[in-house]
C-alpha cells in the first residue's frame, strides 16, 4: 500500500464516520430512548421523547445531521504499532474534517477564543483533538466523537478531600445534574471519572460516555456505584429536557484511576441524548470494517 | 394543554393571555440570535447605533442553524434551539428595548429575564432540544442573514415559519418559571436520594 492510498483511505473513512455519527445514533442509544418513551409516565416527558424519536428517524432517512450543533470534533485512535505512516494520520483526519464540513455538511464550530473568529471548516488550534493509544498489530481504529456544546457546558470537576472519598461522588453527580437541569438536553448519558488528577479525571469521565450502554461494569463495586447513581439521578424527576419526568439519564458510567494520596478528583461529564460517535477499523491489507454503524 | 396559534407581529395582549404550560405554535417571521449577536445588540444599543433589523413583535429564537447555500438560496437543514441561559445577561434589555414578546429556546431563563417579561409583557417557549430536523420542517423560507461576520452559528437569521411548535410556555409574563419549579422539586428530593 502506498502512502497516498493510505491517506486517501483514512480521509474517506473519516468523512464516512463523521456522516454516520451526526446522522445516525448508535443502536444502544436509540433503544434506550425508545425504552424511556415507553416507560415515561409524565405527559410532557412523553412529548419531548416523541419529538426526539421522530427527529432521529427523519435525520436517518434523509442523511441530515440530527442536531444543528454538529459539535467540536475529537478523534480517538488506536493504532497497531506496525501500521505504516502513523505520522500522516492526523493530516488525513484534518482534511477529512474540512471535507465533511462542506459535504455533509457540518456546522462550522471552531472559534478562536482570542479573536472570536470562526475558521469555517471545523479545524483550528488543537482541533480536531487527537487521542492516541498504541496496540499490537497493523490496524488503525478510528473513533470520531463530535461533542455538542450544551452538554459540554454542564461538565464539572471538583477536587474532593480524600477523607470524603467515594461518598462524595454520588452527591457531586446529583448536584451537577440538578444544576444542569434541562441545559444538556436530557435524558443524558453521564460519565464519572475518579482519581488520576484533574485532567485525568475529566478525560476518564469523557471516555466513559462512549461505553456501550448495556455493558455491565466487570468490577462489582463500580457496577453497584453506577446503578446507585443511575437510580438517584432518575429520582430527581428532572426528566426529558428538564421539563419533568422519569428519565433524566439513560446510563451512568464510572471510570477510575489510582490517585495521589492528597487528591480525590471527581469529574462529571454529560452527553446529550444525541450521543454521537462512530468507529471503523482499517486493516493493513486495506479492508475497512465499520463497527458502530454496520450499514 | 390548550393549542394556541400566534401570528407575527405578536402583541402584548397575545402573550399576557399565556400561562406556564400552554402550548403555542408560531407563524410569520422569526429572527435567531445567540451569544455573539446578543453581545453586539447590547453594545449597539449602548452606542446608539442602528440595528440592521427590527425585532419588534417578532419571536427571538436562540438558535445557531445549520444552513446550506446553493447559488443564492439558503436552505435550513437543522435548526434546533441552543441553551438559552447563556443569553440571560442580555435578554432583559433586549425585551425591554426591542419589543420582543416571545423568546424561543431550551433549558429556560433566569430571574432577570423573567422580571423583564413581567414588566414588558413577554414569554419564553421551549422547543425540544436537538429536534433540529423536525424544526427545519417549519421553516418555509430563509429571508436572509445579518452579521454573517460572526460566523454561521452566531449570525442573525431571518426565517419565515409556519406553525412552528409545539412551544411549551415555561416562563410567562406573571413571574412563573417552570424550570425553577422542576429544580426546586429536585432539590427537595435530594436529601432522600443522596
What is the residue range of B8's domain? 3-188
Inter-chain CB proximity B182 and A54 less than 8 Å:
no
Cα–Cα dist B104/A111, whole Å:
25
Enclosing H/E stretch for A56: helix A43-62
For residue B79, tell me if it sits in a domain: yes
Q: Is B185 exposed, middle or buried (0-12, 13-18, 19+ CB in 10 A)?
A: middle
Cα–Cα dist B179/B80, whole Å:
19
For residue B92, tell me if it sits in a domain: yes
For residue A32, tell me if it sits in a domain: no
Kindly list the residues from chain A whose CB atom is less than 8 angstroms away from the CB atom of residue B177.
Answer: none
**pTM of the entire structure?**
0.96
- For B135, which residue in chain A has the nearest alpha carbon? A55
Q: How far is CA B132 from each of CA A52, A189, A197, A202, B105, rounded to the nearest angstrom?
A: 9, 20, 37, 29, 12
Query: What's the distance, Cα to Cα, between the start and end of chain A in Å?
Result: 26
As for how many domains chain A has, the answer is 2
- Kindly state the cell numbers that stand for A101: 464540513
Residues A154 and A144 in one domain: no
Q: How far is CA A242 from each of CA A231, B66, B78, B82, rounded to the nearest angstrom?
A: 17, 24, 22, 14
For residue B194, tell me if it sits in a domain: no
Residues A141 and A19 in one domain: yes
Please tell me chain A's helix, strand, coil percentages from 3-state DSSP, rounded to the nearest 5.
Answer: 40, 20, 35
Give the pLDDT confidence of A58-110 residue by residue, as tens digits.
Answer: 999 999 999 999 999 999 999 999 999 999 999 999 999 999 999 999 999 99
Given the residues B38, B40, B101, B106, select the one marked as catalytic.
B38
For residue B43, tell me if it sits in a domain: yes
B38: annotated active-site residue: yes
For residue A13, tell me if it sits in a domain: yes
For residue B45, tell me if it sits in a domain: yes
Q: Which of A48, A108, A244 sits opposite B152 (nearest CB)?
A: A108
Apex A160 CA angle, A205 and A155, nearest 5: 35
- Kindly state the cell numbers that stand for B188: 427537595
For residue A223, tell me if it sits in a domain: yes
For residue B132, tell me if it sits in a domain: yes
- The domain that contains B113 carries what CATH number? 3.20.130.10
Average pLDDT estimate for B137-156: 97
pLDDT tier at A1 (50, 70, 90 boundaries)?
very low
What is the residue range of A141's domain? 3-24+66-148+276-290
Apex B25 CA angle, B23 and B27, nearest 5: 160
Residues A242 and A157 in one domain: yes
Cα–Cα dist A148/B167, whole Å:
22
Inter-chain CB proximity B130 and A67 less than 8 Å:
yes
Residues A251 and A189 in one domain: yes
As for how many domains chain B has, the answer is 1
Cα–Cα dist A21/A77, whole Å:
16
Residues A183 and A209 in one domain: yes
pLDDT tier at A4 (50, 70, 90 boundaries)?
very low
Residues A18 and A142 in one domain: yes
Residues A282 and A265 in one domain: no
Amino acid at each position: 500500500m502506498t502512502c497516498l492510498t493510505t491517506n486517501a483511505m483514512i480521509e474517506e473513512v473519516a468523512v464516512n464516520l463523521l456522516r454516520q455519527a451526526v446522522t445516525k445514533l448508535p443502536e444502544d442509544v436509540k433503544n434506550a430512548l425508545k425504552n424511556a418513551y415507553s416507560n415515561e409516565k409524565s405527559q410532557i416527558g412523553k412529548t419531548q421523547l416523541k419529538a426526539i424519536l421522530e427527529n432521529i428517524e427523519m435525520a436517518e432517512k434523509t442523511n441530515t445531521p440530527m442536531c444543528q450543533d454538529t459539535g467540536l470534533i475529537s478523534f480517538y485512535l488506536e493504532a497497531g504499532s506496525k501500521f505504516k505512516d502513523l505520522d500522516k494520520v492526523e493530516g488525513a483526519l484534518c482534511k477529512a474534517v474540512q471535507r465533511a464540513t462542506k459535504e455533509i455538511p457540518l456546522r462550522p464550530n471552531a472559534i478562536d477564543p482570542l479573536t472570536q473568529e470562526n475558521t469555517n471548516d471545523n479545524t483550528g488550534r488543537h482541533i480536531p483533538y487527537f487521542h492516541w493509544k498504541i496496540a499490537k498489530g497493523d490496524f488503525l481504529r478510528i473513533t470520531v466523537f463530535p461533542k455538542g456544546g450544551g452538554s459540554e457546558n454542564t461538565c464539572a470537576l471538583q477536587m474532593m478531600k480524600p477523607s470524603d472519598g467515594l461518598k462524595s461522588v454520588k452527591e457531586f453527580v446529583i448536584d451537577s445534574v440538578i444544576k444542569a437541569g434541562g441545559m444538556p438536553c436530557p435524558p443524558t448519558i453521564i460519565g464519572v471519572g475518579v482519581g488520576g488528577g484533574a485532567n485525568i479525571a475529566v478525560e476518564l469521565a469523557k471516555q466513559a460516555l462512549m461505553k456501550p450502554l448495556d455493558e455491565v461494569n466487570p468490577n462489582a463495586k463500580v457496577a453497584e456505584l453506577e446503578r446507585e447513581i443511575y437510580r438517584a439521578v432518575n429520582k430527581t424527576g428532572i426528566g426529558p429536557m428538564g421539563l419533568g419526568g422519569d428519565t433524566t439519564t439513560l446510563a451512568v458510567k464510572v471510570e477510575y484511576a489510582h490517585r495521589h494520596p492528597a487528591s480525590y478528583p471527581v469529574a462529571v461529564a454529560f452527553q446529550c441524548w444525541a450521543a454521537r460517535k462512530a468507529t471503523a477499523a482499517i486493516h493493513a491489507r486495506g479492508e475497512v470494517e465499520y463497527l458502530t454503524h454496520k450499514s | 394543554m390548550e393549542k394556541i396559534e400566534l401570528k407575527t407581529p405578536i402583541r402584548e395582549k397575545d402573550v399576557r393571555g399565556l400561562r406556564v404550560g400552554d402550548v403555542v405554535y408560531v407563524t410569520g417571521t422569526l429572527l435567531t440570535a445567540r451569544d455573539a449577536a446578543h453581545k453586539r445588540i447590547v453594545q449597539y444599543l449602548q452606542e446608539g447605533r442602528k440595528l440592521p433589523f427590527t425585532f419588534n413583535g417578532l419571536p427571538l429564537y436562540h438558535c445557531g442553524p445549520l444552513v446550506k447555500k446553493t447559488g443564492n438560496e439558503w436552505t435550513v437543514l437543522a435548526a434546533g434551539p441552543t441553551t438559552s441561559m447563556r443569553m440571560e445577561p442580555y435578554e432583559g434589555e433586549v425585551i425591554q428595548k426591542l419589543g420582543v414578546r416571545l423568546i424561543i429556546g431550551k433549558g429556560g431563563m433566569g430571574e432577570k429575564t423573567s422580571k423583564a417579561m413581567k414588566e414588558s409583557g413577554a414569554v419564553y417557549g421551549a422547543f425540544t432540544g436537538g429536534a433540529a430536523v423536525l424544526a427545519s420542517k417549519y421553516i418555509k423560507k430563509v429571508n436572509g442573514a445579518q452579521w454573517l461576520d460572526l460566523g454561521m452559528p452566531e449570525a442573525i437569521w431571518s426565517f419565515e415559519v409556519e406553525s412552528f411548535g409545539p412551544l411549551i410556555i415555561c416562563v410567562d409574563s406573571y413571574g412563573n418559571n417552570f424550570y425553577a419549579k422542576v429544580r426546586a422539586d429536585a432539590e427537595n428530593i435530594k436529601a432522600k436520594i443522596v
